[in-house]
Structure 1
Amino acid sequence: MYVLGIRDGGAGGDTVERVVDQTVDRLSERGRVGVVRYDATIADGTQVRKSMGGDVTYELGADGDWTASGTGLTVGDAIDRLVTDCAYAIVVGVSGLRYPSIVVGPGVDGSSVEIDPDEDVIATVETPSELADVPLVQRLESAEPHETLESIVARVKRSPSADRAGAIATFTGRVRGKDSADDARTQYLEFEKYEGIADERMAALEADLEARHGVFDVELHHRTGVVADGEDIVFVVVLAGHREEAFRTVEDGINRLKDEVPLFKKEVTVEDEFWVHDRP
């Protein structure tokens, strides 16, 4: 699922809503769209406003409540709920997302919109009509998709060979806070990939593993960019006829991914930061 942020750069709520509606219309031509709408003024679940378009909409307040039901949801939780059923998600009203975004300007009092240098802004628009000139789908789908273990498992279950499969085995790698009790705590890892080559190697590895007897589908996914302490980094999912082939292929898959796919890791602890491949 591809995630797009839309935030107000000073244009006002009505203009932002019209930009969201047009974006939903464009993306809906290609797949199911979910909307996560955050409003810091919603603090107790009582201010429910008109939901924007989309197949699924979550309206979140400052306390993390989903106003439609009152159950606690963060923005991240809402995105994770959409990922198994939607091709796209639009997150409205949140700055600093790790996903591409559109800023609806101009800034306050007509000043220029302030953009964080780390923010991946696809476009800054002042009116909904300007969206027509934005290569929205191309830019959005060139970014890394949002994946979870659940979304990948759901996808392999839809494999044409699923009726022959009796096993799904998975591996999830996550950011470890420390190796031992005396280590400085890891705050986050940052991953970069060798553009083009890493994707080719990953696809070739998936194809090689799928060629094994009794293995029907293999999906490998490794996040890039900043991954915080406790977050998931990498997934290996194998659909196979029996557990023996599934377990063996999962183990080989993660081992070969680490050996064959050119990914570079920087570790940032509370005391230091370093690229792991530079360490002896």
Structure 2
Amino acid sequence: MYVLGCLNGDASRNAFERVVDRAVDRLSREGRVGVVRYDATIADGTHESLTVGGDVTYGLGADGDWTASGTGMTVADALDALATDCDYAVVVGVPGLRYPTLVVGDPVDEHDEVIATVSGPGELDEEELVATLEASEPYETLESLVARVKRSPDADRAGAIATFTGRVRAKDDPGDARTEYLEFEKYEGVADERMTALEADLEARDGVLDVELYHRTGVVANGEDIVFVVVLAGHREEAFRTVEDGINRLKDEVPLFKKEVTVEDEFWVHERP
């Protein structure tokens, strides 16, 4: 699922909503769209599934942490819920997200990853927006990858789904300096090609029906998930074996570079002896 943020800089509400509507309508021609809207005036924990403004809409607001009061649902929770069956998510009114962002008017937060700035709907290049968004890193969860292999044409022959989740640990040992986050960069082009080739190689094994590999890039905080391996197979033996081989080969063969930032230091792991 690809995530697009939409922010209103200094445009009128009408202009902003028209731009959002155009973006959602254009994405809906490519696939299923979910919308997450934040509104500080929502004070009752609104969490509704609607058919307005996309296939699914979540309304969040009220307590200052992008959380729906009463439900405890955050923007990340809403995205997790959408990721299993939506191709796109549009997040409206939440600054500071680490996702491609469309701004109407002047940008309001230097931390936003702005991919387009327009003053109104007439300036929106819809085709460029789709192309730029689909060139970004998709939003995946373990659940979304499991849901994808379950939709495999060979799912009727499957008796097992095995998974691996790698996450950021805060410490190796109790006395270690606490890790605040890891930052991952990939060798552009090469990393994606090798990941795709590795998936194909693993899927060619006897008894293996589908394989999904996913590794996040950018900043990943301690406690967050980094990498997923999901294997659909006829039996558990080949499923477990392929998951283990998959994560080992991903680490060995896919060029990803890791910087570790602790409370005391920061360093690129591959540069350490």
For Structure 1 versus Structure 2, the TM-score category normalised by the shorter chain is over 0.9
Q: What percent identity do the matched residue pairs reach?
A: 75
Query: Equivalent residue for 2:34?
Result: 34
Query: Equivalent residue for 1:43?
Result: 43
The answer as to 2:248 corresponding to 1:255 is yes
1:100 to 1:65, Cα distance in 2 relative to 1, 3 A: closer
Deviation at 1:40, TM superposition (A): 2.4
Separation (CA, whole Å) in 2 of partners of 1:40 and 1:207: 47
Give 2:205's aligned amino acid. R
Deviation at 1:115, TM superposition (A): 4.9
Separation (CA, whole Å) in 2 of partners of 1:36 and 1:121: 18
In structure 1, which of residues 132, 157, 179 is the aligned counterpart of residue 125 of structure 2?
132
What are the equivalent positions in structure 2 for 1:132-151 lying under 5 Å apart? Answer: 132=125, 135-151=128-144
The answer as to 2:186 corresponding to 1:186 is no
Separation (CA, whole Å) in 1 of partners of 2:13 and 2:91: 14
Query: Equivalent residue for 1:269?
Result: 262
Separation (CA, whole Å) in 2 of partners of 1:40 and 1:51: 22
CA contact (8 A) 1:215 1:245 kept: yes
Query: Equivalent residue for 2:204?
Result: 211
Count of aligned positions: 270
Separation (CA, whole Å) in 2 of partners of 1:147 and 1:249: 20
The answer as to 2:94 corresponding to 1:56 is no
Deviation at 1:246, TM superposition (A): 0.2
SS state of the match for residue 220, structure 1? strand
CA contact (8 A) 1:205 1:257 kept: yes
Separation (CA, whole Å) in 1 of partners of 2:214 and 2:235: 22
Separation (CA, whole Å) in 1 of partners of 2:162 and 2:127: 41
Separation (CA, whole Å) in 2 of partners of 1:65 and 1:261: 36
1:62 to 1:240, Cα distance in 2 relative to 1, 3 A: same
Query: Equivalent residue for 1:24?
Result: 24
Give 1:169's aligned amino acid. A
Deviation at 1:18, TM superposition (A): 1.1
Query: Equivalent residue for 2:214?
Result: 221
SS state of the match for residue 156, structure 2? helix
Instruction: Give the structure-2-normalised TM-score.
Output: 0.94
Query: Equivalent residue for 1:87?
Result: 87
Instruction: Give the structure-1-normalised TM-score.
Output: 0.92
Query: Equivalent residue for 1:110?
Result: none
The answer as to 2:207 corresponding to 1:201 is no
Separation (CA, whole Å) in 2 of partners of 1:163 and 1:131: 44
Deviation at 1:90, TM superposition (A): 0.2
Give 2:87's aligned amino acid. A
**What do the CA deviations read for 1:135-194 (whole angstroms, capped 9, x no partner)?**
111000000000000000000001011000100000000011111111111110000001
Separation (CA, whole Å) in 1 of partners of 2:221 and 2:67: 23
The answer as to 2:103 corresponding to 1:103 is yes
1:207 to 1:238, Cα distance in 2 relative to 1, 3 A: same
Give 1:24's aligned amino acid. V
The answer as to 2:27 corresponding to 1:10 is no
Deviation at 1:51, TM superposition (A): 8.4
Separation (CA, whole Å) in 1 of partners of 2:57 and 2:98: 20
Which 5+ residue runs of structure 1 have no aligned equivalent? 108-112
Aligned Cα root-mean-square deviation (Å):
1.9
CA contact (8 A) 2:23 2:126 kept: no
SS state of the match for residue 219, structure 1? strand
Which 5+ residue runs of structure 2 have no aligned equivalent? none
Separation (CA, whole Å) in 2 of partners of 1:7 and 1:119: 9
Give 2:140's aligned amino acid. E
The answer as to 2:158 corresponding to 1:152 is no
1:273 to 1:247, Cα distance in 2 relative to 1, 3 A: same
